[in-house]
Structures are given as C-alpha cells and as structure tokens.
Amino acid sequence: MAKVHVQDLTKEYGSLVATDNVSLDIGDGELVVLVGPSGCGKTTTLRSIAGLETPTSGSITFDDVDITDKSPQDRDISMVFQDLALYPHMTAKENIAFPLRAEDGHSESEIDSAVNDIAEVADCDEFLDKKITSLSGGQQQRVALARALVRRPEVFLMDEPFSDLDELLKRQLRAEVVRLQHEFGVTMVHVTHDQEEAMTMGDKLVVMNDGNVAQFGDPDEVFSEPQSLFVAMFIGSPQINRFDCHLSWDGDTAVLDDGEVTFEVDGPLVDALQMARGDEITACVRPQLLNWSDDGSGGDFAVPVTVDVVEKIGTEDVVRCQTPNGHEVTAEVATGVLDEGMEGYLTFTAESLHLFDGHDDDAERLN
Amino acid sequence: MSSDTSGFQWFGRGFVALYALFVAFPLYWTLNTALKPLNYIGTFPPTLYPRGFTLDSIVWVLTNSRAVNAITNSLIIASGTTILSVILGALAGYAFSRFASRIDPGGHVSFWLLSTRMFPPIAVVLPIFFIYGQLGLQDTLLGLILLYLTFNLPLTTWLMRDFFDKIPVSFEEAAYVDGYSRFETFRKVVFPLVRPGLVATMMLAWVFAWNEFLFAWIITGNNTSTITTIIPTLIESNQIQWNRIMAMAVVVAIPPTLILIAFRDNIIEGMTLGMTDI
C-alpha cells in the first residue's frame, strides 16, 4: 500500500493541454475518485499515475519514491480499464492468473490457490473455467476486479469500468469495489464522469474541469461547500439552482437582483459579499434545501413559482417549477405534497445560500 | 411466416448448389482432361468421364525434370516471399496500427503504400526488366522473391494493420501494467489474437506468388521457370499438350487446396475480419 503524490502534473498533446498543473495528495489506503465531465483530464491523470502517459512536466511519487519516469511494469500497480481488457483467448481463470505469471517464482499451485482465493472474494469462483466471451457484463467486471487485485498491488486504478452497465448492477458493483478496497486496504484511484458514483464511493473526491483540479475534498465538503461555481453545478442531483445576480448596496444590505427575483442579504453573508471583485454574483441553492410555502413565509428568501413537472423518485418528489419569467427552479420535497400547476413560493434560509464571485465556471466561492 | 423462411432457404440452397456446380465444373473438366490420353481429348462429342483412363500425364508432371524443377522453384519463391512479406508486413502493420500519429500523420504513407497496387502491373514490367538486368537479378530465385515481396507487402501491411486495429490498445496496456514487457505482451496477448488474421494474410500472399504469371514470364529464363511459365511451353507449334497442361494444373492446385483445408477456420475468420471474440 502506498501514498500517492502528484505534483504539478502537466500533460500536453501538441497545443492541447490535457492536465494543467494538477497536484494531488492521496493517503495510504484511501479511495479517491476523480470526477468531471469528458475531456476534463481525469483519465489523463489516471493514466499518468499508471505510467501509460508520460507527463510533459511534473512528478509522481509513491511513498516518496519518484516514479515519474518508471515504466508501468515497474510501478506495482493494477488497473481496471474502461473496456476491462479481459483477454478473449483465455478463460476467466487464466485471465486472473495472468498478472501472477508475469512475476518469476510462483509455482503452479501457488498461482492456483491465489486465483481461487481472490475469485472467492470477488465472487467469481463459479465461472472460472468459462471463456470470457461467454460471461455476462457483470461477471466480466468481477473477473476484471479479481485480476486487478490478485497481485495485491500498491495502487489500484479504475478507469470508469462501470459505465456500460445497467443501473442496478452498477450499484452492486460499486458497493463491491468499496468493500474489496476496505478489505485489502489498498490505495485506490477511481475515475468516473458520474457524480453520483463519485459521491457514493469516494473517501475523497477530486472534481476536475478543463485540466484543472476544481476541488479536492471529502464528498460532504464538496457537496455542501463547493469552492467554485463549476463544482456547485456539477456535483449534486438534481442540479443546484442558480440565479445570476447583479449586486448593489442599500446601506449595509446587499441586494442581489437576477432581473426578476431579488434577495436582500444582511447578516454574516454581507462580509462575504464585500469580498466580491465585481458586481456579478451567482447565488445557488440546493433543491434539497428548498421548502414549499403557499404565502412566502417560513424562510429568509422566497421565490414565487408555478409547479411545472412533478417527478416521483420514491419517498420524495423532484419538482420542476418556473418563476413567472420562466426561470426554472428545482426543488426536492416530500412526496405527494405538490401537484402540477400549483402556485406558491419556494423558500430557503440564508445558510443554504452559496455565493460565487461571477457567472463563469471558475467563479470562486464567497461564503 | 415460417413457410416464407423455408421457401427462402430452399431458394438459397438451390442457388448455392447451382453456383457450386458452376465453380466445380471447370475443375472437374481439368481433372477429366488430365486423365485422358491426348488423342481422346479432342473427340466429339466429349466424354464426361476420362475415356481411355491413363495416369501418364500426371506421371510426366511428377517425373519430368523441367516440371519438377518448376514446382520446386515455385515452392521456394512462394514460400520465401510469403515469409518475408508476412514478417515485414506484420511489423509495419503493427507500427501503422499503434504509432500512426507518430509515423504516419494524415495517413499519407500508408495510402502511398496501397496506391502501389492501384496501377496495372504490366505498366512496370519493362522498367523492372531493365532494372533487373542491371542488377543481375533476371532469372534468379531471389529476383522473383523480391519482386513478389514488393507486390505483397502493401497487401500484407494493410491487412495486418486492420487485424491489429481490431485488438484494443488497452489489451496491451493491461499487460504492461501487470508487469509484462512489450515483447512478452506481443507474444502472449497480441499474437494469439491476431493469429487468424496472420494465417489468412499468409495464404493470400502465398497464393499470389504461386499463381503469378506475367512477371515470372518476363523475368525468369531457363534456370528458374515457375509452374506458370512451364504451362505455356506445352503449347507447341504443331500440337497443344492438353493432357499435360491439365495434369500440371491439377498438381499445382493441390498445395493451395491443402492449405485451405488445413486452415479453413482461421482463413474464414481472417478474411471476414470477423474476430468476433473481441
């Protein structure tokens, strides 16, 4: 097991910058998830850790040993690829044994028992003798996991292998991976574009955008205190509500006006707003923290809306509403309370407000 | 619905049977003629069976020194050019498949390679004849091996590139991560997966060299006649030795047929690029 440290990693393909000075500190035995939209540099970062890409500049260390220029063979890592990379000309068993056969000095019986042990742990012992092509998607995933873990690597890497699976199987395997990771205590880096997967699996999240680390922190922190507007918009489902406001001052009261709704802010948030560099402020609030109110009371702020669509998701409803001017606001409320066409207010408290300095993705958090 | 399907199937089978007959009849007629004595070949009406059955012409092919030499030469030339073109083509194909962005940005090199197959070969017969005269390669086995190599190499390179393209790069990367060197990875992962394609490519290269007539006719002389250049010499000024021509055809058709039978699964898989396993 190893600590992984990435320092100022930059990878350029010609004029295209895939990662731009990415730095990460991954603790021993941690499960870190790199998450972000396509092309954000998460896979490049992972492949650099694996040694499959040579960084343009920057360094990578495992346990303070610089491995930047080492080939993948010499890194003691294992990786599950997006397409799994299981070999069709071998059985499941041969695939799992494959990493062990790369090392000298294992007897056949050692390999055999190691394969059987890991197959039992990864729950794929029932189809060890089958060809890869005759296995289902979920079974293949389990074989790929077993192959990656059989050698007890220092660092375990996964490049969104679950993206092709159906939802239920995906959830099962996520839980399985987390269980295995805890059981082996292995340091793990997982890449996904699915923010929900990232939230449920990671000890730490690395939210990436445009080759940069937008935020590095534990899932709760990333969710409740997004450091930039991009993170706020990317993490969380349903997506955070956003009001692009203009800031003006009325004495000590800050007035945020998005052209339709105004929020008069006083109290502790005023200090934050005074730090703003300009008068463009984005105010965001999570759908989970909105409450329905018929008359606009019961919160610090209220937005008048009409219920547009009600999506049932079980114990709660996702309610898509519109302000009179057509700005969409989404709320998550107890099920059965609201019906399409109802008019009223969505209210929220000052504490649930996220303020960002500008309207761009990289606008920084103010409060 | 089911009657439609079976009707279509019957039609399909009938068509295939008809086509098989169409293809097989000339082959049968070759054999039929090879087994007749010369004086029965031109009789009218012709007989569907070898009238006056004799193995004389087959025996001639297998014992006449010119014929035997030609077969030996063809075997050497075809095998030599196949080995070279498959080894070089596989290496080049691998490079074009894996390092295209570095060695062939825009695909111009590989297209140029293919374009050498686009003009009629007869256009270069004369220049090649003179160049070979200068280099002393006329009427040598090596000359023909090299010549066929130049024709086969674009084909083998392109085919092998396609076969390598079918193997995801991640297959190799996974092996690197697991600790295998590039060479070991090629041996344990890439080669087993590309083998059907390799066999199909070998066969195509071999058959091309085995069957080639035009250049062999121009380049070779008495020392290195090939099977294809022996056959026209059996057309003599006063008679055409149909039985020997056909016997020669029968004998030289045997090696490709055996190859086809031995590797038919690989060849079908390779020809259709149908590496469905992956």
- Cα–Cα distance measured from residue B233 to residue B237, given in angstroms and rounded to the nearest whole number: 10
State how far the alpha carbon of B32 is from the alpha carbons of A224, B51, B52, B242, in Å. 89, 9, 11, 11
- Cα–Cα distance measured from residue B10 to residue B199, given in angstroms and rounded to the nearest whole number: 34
- Cα–Cα distance measured from residue A34 to residue A312, given in angstroms and rounded to the nearest whole number: 30
Residue B272: the pLDDT is: 67
DSSP-derived letter for residue A252 is T
Q: In chain A, pLDDT over 90 holds for what percent of residues? A: 71
Provide the shortest C-alpha distance from residue B85 to chain A (in Å): 26
Whether residue B22 has pLDDT greater than 60: yes
Residue B276: the pLDDT is: 46
Residue B21: the pLDDT is: 95
State how far the alpha carbon of B27 is from the alpha carbons of A345, B33, B119, in Å. 88, 10, 30
The reply to whether residue B178 touches residue A89, judged by beta carbons under 8 angstroms, is: no
User: A346 has which bridge partners?
Assistant: A292, A303
Residue A251: the pLDDT is: 86
Candidates B133, B164, B155; CA nearest to B84 is: B155
**A78 contacts in B (CB within 8 Å)?**
177-178
SS3 assignment, position A202: coil
CB A330 within 8 A of CB A292: no
Q: Mind listing the pLDDT tens digit for each residue in B111-127?
A: 888 888 888 888 888 99
At B3, the pLDDT band (50, 70, 90 cuts) reads low
Average pLDDT in chain A: 91
Q: Mind listing the pLDDT tens digit for each residue in B43-95?
A: 888 888 888 888 999 999 999 999 999 999 999 999 999 999 999 999 999 99
The reply to whether residue B174 touches residue A151, judged by beta carbons under 8 angstroms, is: no
Residue B1: the pLDDT is: 46
Predicted complex: ipTM over 0.85 = yes
**Other Cβ atoms closer than 10 A to A313:** 11
**Which run of H or E residues covers position B150?**
helix B141-165
**Which run of H or E residues covers position A344?**
strand A343-348
Whether residue B8 has pLDDT greater than 90: no
Q: Output the DSSP codes for B31-83.
A: HHHHTS-HHHHT-SSPPSS-TT---HHHHHHHH-HHHHHHHHHHHHHHHHHHH
CB A306 within 8 A of CB A345: no
Average pLDDT in chain B: 88
The reply to whether residue A85 touches residue B180, judged by beta carbons under 8 angstroms, is: no
- Cα–Cα distance measured from residue A151 to residue A155, given in angstroms and rounded to the nearest whole number: 11
Q: Mind listing the pLDDT tens digit for each residue in A74-103?
A: 998 999 999 999 999 899 999 999 999 998
A96: buried, middle or exposed (CB in 10 Å: 19+, 13-18, 0-12)?
buried
Chain A contact for B187, CB < 8 A?
no
Q: Mind listing the pLDDT tens digit for each residue in B213-240?
A: 989 998 888 888 899 998 888 888 888 8
The reply to whether residue A52 touches residue B173, judged by beta carbons under 8 angstroms, is: yes
At A14, the pLDDT band (50, 70, 90 cuts) reads confident
Q: Mind listing the pLDDT tens digit for each residue in B129-188?
A: 999 999 999 899 999 999 999 999 998 999 899 899 989 999 999 999 999 999 999 999
Chain A contact for B105, CB < 8 A?
no
Residue A358: both structure tokens together: 């500008």
Q: Which of A51, A83, A103 is closest, CB to CB, to B170?
A: A83
CB B278 within 8 A of CB B167: yes
**B171 contacts in A (CB within 8 Å)?**
85, 87
What sections of A185-311 are H helices per DSSP? 195-201, 219-224, 229-234, 269-274
CB A202 within 8 A of CB A219: yes
Residue B124: the pLDDT is: 87
State how far the alpha carbon of A53 is from the alpha carbons of A19, A35, A111, in Å. 12, 19, 30
A301-312 and A262-265: which strand pairing? unpaired
CB A71 within 8 A of CB A65: no
Whether residue A323 has pLDDT greater than 90: yes
The reply to whether residue B180 touches residue A102, judged by beta carbons under 8 angstroms, is: yes
The reply to whether residue B277 touches residue A82, judged by beta carbons under 8 angstroms, is: no
At B262, the pLDDT band (50, 70, 90 cuts) reads confident
The reply to whether residue A77 touches residue B177, judged by beta carbons under 8 angstroms, is: yes
CB A153 within 8 A of CB A76: yes
Residue B277: the pLDDT is: 43
A262-265 and A253-257: which strand pairing? antiparallel
First to last CA, chain A: 38
CB B77 within 8 A of CB B141: yes
Longest pairwise C-alpha distance within chain B: 74
Instruction: List the single best residue of B177, B186, B193 to mutate versus A (max A Cβ within 10 A).
Output: B177
Candidates A172, A145, A146, A176; CA nearest to A161 is: A145
- Cα–Cα distance measured from residue A9 to residue A57, given in angstroms and rounded to the nearest whole number: 6
Whether residue B2 has pLDDT greater than 70: no
User: For the ranges A34-38, A59-63, A104-108, which has the lowest average pLDDT?
Assistant: A104-108
**Which run of H or E residues covers position A249?**
strand A241-250
Q: Output the DSSP codes for A17-32.
A: EEEEEEEEEE-TT-EE
Q: CA angle, A18 as apex, A12 and A21 as ends, to 5°? A: 80
Q: Which of A78, A82, A88 is closest, CB to CB, to B178?
A: A78
